[in-house]
């Protein structure tokens, strides 16, 4: 509580965090620094340790090893009610016996903020999140989306040094979820509060975040901007988890003085790290692949097995020498019927390096 | 209108059956209430007219009024103590693993299935061994033991449904453990606590067996009634019975309303 905001330190630092439940490790040697005012997402599959990490930041779980700093102050041992961060729970956890206004004012009242100030700040925050009209309703008489907003207001009204959100939109329907994603982002930008956002929805993470941390099996695999994560995944898991992927192996050879991967007799670009004489795993995203008439030089050849119309895109399944590839093209492009022979190619910078193939 | 339509769908044998049950259940009560207003001491038909003479009699009868006072003290004390103990026990039990919890609840429920007569006699012998005199206090202690399982049952069922993540939300907003309990847990379980307290009060108000063996000179209302039936069929017991009936059914009614409102 005595911690004075110090904007020169990172908002949150996790150093060498280990956490196990009994024998089962939930978080393994995690280092992470989150900057002031950043929208940071933790993304990973179910059970990878996202919630555990967030709860350690909130002070509901304590690491077995490592330390946690908020604004440069060590809070590793500080319990939740004395940390200047607030958590938005996945199931909102609004107090059902209180009105919206009392829910939102709860934290301020606990901290003995004067009555008049509580009223002002609560009203202002209810307007900010767009539930001013429901201030005097009981919290259990709201729709899911409204409850979500109240939960957000209840946390933000305390002006936390960081706001922690655990899959806050997962209970909403798709349409509302999309709208709330944009709204959350704009509220975050307006208030300048550091957000740590847990999700297993990669699209959501890409859309909202300044930076994303990808977790799997208790480990943080890569931290980067959405562009970095999507375009240059550090690791096969990241590449596969974020976005769709066509992964296959190529033979690395010197072709006409250049190191190339050879597939089906045609040379394709390989990462600069690839060494000749080895088999290399590479990947290309479906939307980075181009599909055109058969017979093109320096391309893969295949036959369309399926064509799906997705509204804004055409999605092809193409049978090739390296297996079935998924290719996406704009809906305005020439449609290639199932059965027709096609060529598939891609730009050099579309290649994602997955390392040497293990035999 | 709606309600009537719903009744029509009930087959007539069911209506007949329920009617018969209600008749056998409530006819004796109805007779007690009716004759408590009878102007004649004769407890037989034909009914000769209404009067409040029996009520006048009991409320000016020092013995009866004192017994009412004792019964009220016993009911209120039993209610308060069992509500507090039941809440504390419930909070202690709710966090246990389901196996331990099952075992604890099993032992906590024993007084409910134990024959009241044996319990009362045992209690009397025990008091005598300890050198504790028979008194209202001795009776209240016994009634508390008897009604605690009912209270615990209601409260622990409520706590089972309580979302303890709400407490985490309160802690996250800066509340200490006790503050979170006072502002979140307690208000949410309060209807069940009050409901079970009223239930314990109703159980105490017409409790007979424990009082019979342990009250000594401090006779409660049911004991006074029993004494009067024994000597001669005194019509004033109809009035006492009616008072008791009104109090206990009011308590039970409010209790049922409170606990069902809570479970919404
Ligand atoms: N209280 C607990 N006791 C024991 N094990 C736990 C506990 N909480 C989490 N775990 C385990 O720790 C691991 C990480 O769990 P965590 O809840 O952090 O995952 P998550 O990434 O949030 O998953 P999800 O996307 O499903 O919410 C899991 O294997 C989980 O089973
Ligand atoms: Mg989780």
Contact A79 B165 (CB under 8 A): no
Contact A106 B183 (CB under 8 A): yes
Neighbours of B186 (CB within 10 A): 13
Contact B173 A86 (CB under 8 A): yes
Cα–Cα distance, A16 to A63 (Å, whole number)? 9
Query: Given pLDDT bands bounded at 50, 70 and 90, which one contains residue B4?
Result: low
| Confidence (pLDDT) at B167 | 94
- For A14, the 3-state DSSP assignment is strand
C-beta separation of B119 from B142 below 8 A: yes
Domains A12-241 and A246-356 in one fold: no
Substitution site in A52, A164, A168, A214 for ligand 1 pocket (most atoms within 8 Å of beta carbon): A52
Instruction: Nearest chain B residue to A86 by CA: give it.
Output: B172
Contact B165 A91 (CB under 8 A): yes
Domain boundary assignment for chain B: 62-263
Burial of residue B137 (number of CB atoms within 10 Å: 0-12, 13-18, 19+):
middle
For domain A246-356, the question of CATH label 2.40.240.10 is answered with no
Nearest CA to ligand 1 atom 16: A49
| Confidence (pLDDT) at B7 | 63
B234 upstream amide cis, omega within 30 of 0: no
Give per-residue pLDDT as tens, B44-74. Answer: 777 777 778 788 878 888 888 888 889 999 9
Task: Give the single-character DSSP code of A5.
Answer: P
Q: Which two tokens stand for residue B175?
A: 């509340």
A308-338 in b/e form (b: 16+ CB < 10 A) is eeeeebbbbbbebebeebbbbbeeeeeebee
For residue B179, pLDDT over 80 is answered with yes
C-beta separation of B75 from B94 below 8 A: no
Query: Given pLDDT bands bounded at 50, 70 and 90, which one contains residue B198?
Result: confident
Q: Which long-range contacts (CB under 8 A, 24 or more apart) does A74-82 make?
A: A75/A3, A79/B171, A80/B168, A80/B171, A80/B172, A81/B171, A81/B172, A81/B173, A81/B174, A81/B175, A81/B176, A82/A1, A82/B174
Cα–Cα distance, B119 to B114 (Å, whole number)? 7
- CATH topology (fold) of B62-263: MetI-like fold (1.10.3720)
A174-206 in b/e form (b: 16+ CB < 10 A) is eeebeebbeebbebbeeeebbbbbbbbbbebbb
Name A138's bridge partners.
A99
| Confidence (pLDDT) at A15 | 95
Is A200 touching ligand 1 by the criterion CB < 6 Å? yes
Atom of ligand 1 nearest to the CA of A53: 18
- CATH topology (fold) of A12-241: Rossmann fold (3.40.50)
Q: ipTM value, please give it.
A: 0.79
| Confidence (pLDDT) at B251 | 80
Contact B171 A80 (CB under 8 A): yes
Is A52 touching ligand 1 by the criterion CB < 6 Å? yes
C-beta separation of A271 from A351 below 8 A: yes
Substitution site in A21, A25, A217 for ligand 1 pocket (most atoms within 8 Å of beta carbon): A21
Give the mean model confidence (pLDDT) for residues A213-240: 91
User: Taking CB atoms and an 8 Å cutoff, what residues of chain B touch A91?
Assistant: 165
pLDDT greater at residue A195 or residue A292: A195
Atom of ligand 1 nearest to the CA of A49: 18
Alpha helices in A232-306 (DSSP H): 236-241
Give per-residue pLDDT as tens, A259-276. Answer: 888 887 778 888 777 788
Domain boundary assignment for chain A: 12-241, 246-356
Atom of ligand 1 nearest to the CA of A215: 21
Give the mean model confidence (pLDDT) for residues A141-164: 92
C-beta separation of A81 from B175 below 8 A: yes
Largest CA distance in chain A: 79
The average confidence (pLDDT) of chain B is 85
pLDDT greater at residue A2 or residue B182: B182
Q: Which two tokens stand for residue A39?
A: 């929208």
Give per-residue pLDDT as tens, B80-109. Answer: 999 999 999 999 998 888 899 889 888 888
């Amino acid at each position: 509580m005595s911690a004075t905001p110090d904007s020169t330190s990172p908002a949150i630092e996790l150093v060498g965090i280990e956490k196990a439940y009994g024998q089962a490790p939930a978080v393994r040697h995690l280092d992470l620094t989150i900057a002031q005012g950043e929208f940071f997402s933790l993304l990973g599959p179910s059970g990878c340790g996202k919630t555990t990490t967030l709860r350690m930041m909130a002070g509901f779980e304590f690491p077995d090893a490592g330390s946690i700093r908020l604004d440069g102050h060590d809070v590793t041992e500080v319990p939740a009610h004395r940390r200047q961060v607030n958590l938005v729970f996945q199931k909102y956890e609004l107090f059902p016996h209180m009105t919206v206004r009392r829910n939102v004012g709860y934290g301020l009242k606990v901290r003995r903020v004067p009555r008049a100030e509580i009223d002002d700040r609560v009203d202002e925050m209810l307007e900010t999140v767009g539930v001013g009209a429901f201030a005097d309703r009981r919290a259990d008489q709201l729709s899911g989306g409204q409850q979500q907003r109240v939960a957000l207001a209840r946390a933000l009204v305390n002006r936390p040094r960081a706001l922690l959100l655990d899959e806050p939109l997962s209970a909403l329907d798709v349409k509302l979820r999309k709208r709330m994603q944009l709204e959350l982002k704009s509220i975050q930008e307006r208030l300048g509060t550091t957000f740590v956002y847990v999700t297993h929805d990669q699209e959501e993470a890409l859309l909202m975040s300044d930076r994303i941390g990808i977790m799997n099996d208790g480990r943080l695999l890569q931290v980067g901007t959405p562009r970095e994560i999507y375009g240059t995944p550090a690791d096969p898991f990241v590449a596969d988890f974020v976005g769709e992927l066509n992964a296959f192996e190529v033979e690395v050879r010197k072709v006409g003085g250049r190191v190339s991967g050879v597939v089906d007799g045609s040379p394709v670009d390989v990462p600069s790290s690839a060494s000749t004489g080895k088999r290399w795993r590479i990947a290309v995203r479906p939307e980075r692949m181009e599909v055109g008439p058969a017979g093109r030089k320096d391309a893969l050849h295949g036959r369309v097995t399926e064509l799906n119309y997705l509204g804004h895109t055409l999605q092809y399944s193409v049978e090739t020498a390296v297996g079935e590839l998924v290719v996406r093209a704009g809906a305005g492009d020439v449609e290639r019927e199932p059965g027709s022979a096609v060529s598939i190619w891609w730009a050099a910078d579309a290649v994602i390096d997955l390392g040497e193939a293990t035999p | 209108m709606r309600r009537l339509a719903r009744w029509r769908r009930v087959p007539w044998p069911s209506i007949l059956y329920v009617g018969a049950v209600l008749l056998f259940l409530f006819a004796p009560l109805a007779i007690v209430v009716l004759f408590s207003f009878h102007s004649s001491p004769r407890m037989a038909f034909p009914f000769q007219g209404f009067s409040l003479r029996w009520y006048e009699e009991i409320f000016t009868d020092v013995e009866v009024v004192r017994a009412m006072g004792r019964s009220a003290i016993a009911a209120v004390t039993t209610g308060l103590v069992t509500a507090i103990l039941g809440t504390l026990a419930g909070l202690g039990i709710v966090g246990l693993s389901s196996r331990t919890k099952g075992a604890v609840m099993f032992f906590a429920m024993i007084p409910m299935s134990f024959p009241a007569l044996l319990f009362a006699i045992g209690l009397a012998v025990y008091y005598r061994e300890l050198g504790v005199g028979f008194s209202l206090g001795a009776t209240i202690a016994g009634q508390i033991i008897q009604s605690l399982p009912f209270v615990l049952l209601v409260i622990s069922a409520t706590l089972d449904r309580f979302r303890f993540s709400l407490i985490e939300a309160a802690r996250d907003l800066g509340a200490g453990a006790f503050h979170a309990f006072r502002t979140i847990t307690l208000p949410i379980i309060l209807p069940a606590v009050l409901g079970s307290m009223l239930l314990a009060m109703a159980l105490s108000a017409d409790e007979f067996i424990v009082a019979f063996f342990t009250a000594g000179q401090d006779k409660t209302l049911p004991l006074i009634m029993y004494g009067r039936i024994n000597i001669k069929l005194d019509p004033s017991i109809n009035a006492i019975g009616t008072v008791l009936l009104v109090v206990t059914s009011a308590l039970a009614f409010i209790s049922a309303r409170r606990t069902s409102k809570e479970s919404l």
